[in-house]
Amino acid sequence: MPLEEIGWLRRGACKSSDPELFFPLAASPVQEAQAKAVCATCQVLTECRSYALKAGETDGIWGGLTPEERRRTRFPAGWRNSAAS
Ligand code: SF4
């Protein structure tokens, strides 16, 4: 990913956070809530979330969403059936 495409990341509220909060070895509800609390204050949340959804990021918290939440956003229930019709 070219740096200019994620330049907004430099303005992210997480830039001074422990990376393990956003990319834990073992995710937990407490860790997710803490990371999401940081995202909730972030001025580039929209850019971050859009990037992660478009890029298909499979790991970590991006834009206040967990990998599972991003997967459900990208592929909502029934998407396969509606794509086939
Ligand atoms: S939305 Fe969250 S993960 Fe994205 S830049 Fe902001 S604080 Fe970091």
Ligand 1 pocket member 44 (CB < 6 A): yes
Please report whether residue 85 resides in a domain: no
Please report whether residue 82 resides in a domain: no
Determine the pLDDT at residue 14.
97
- SS3 state of residue 6: helix
Tell me the β-bridge partners of 65: 62
Please report whether residue 40 resides in a domain: yes
Give the type of residue at 12.
G
Determine the pLDDT at residue 12.
97
Determine the pLDDT at residue 1.
62
Q: What residues form the annotated binding site for [4Fe-4S] cluster?
A: 14, 39, 42, 48
In the chain (85 residues long), the average pLDDT of successive 10-residue segments reads 78 96 95 98 97 95 97 86 71
26 lies in which domain range?
3-77
Ligand 1 pocket test: pick from 38, 49, 53, 66 the residue with the most ligand atoms within 8 Å of its Cβ.
38
Determine the pLDDT at residue 85.
64
Whole-number Cα distances in Å, 5 to 15, 34, 62, 80: 17, 26, 15, 30
Please report whether residue 83 resides in a domain: no
Ligand 1 pocket member 42 (CB < 6 A): yes
The model carries a pTM of 0.86
Determine the pLDDT at residue 75.
85
Domain count for the chain? 1
Please report whether residue 23 resides in a domain: yes
- SS3 state of residue 41: coil
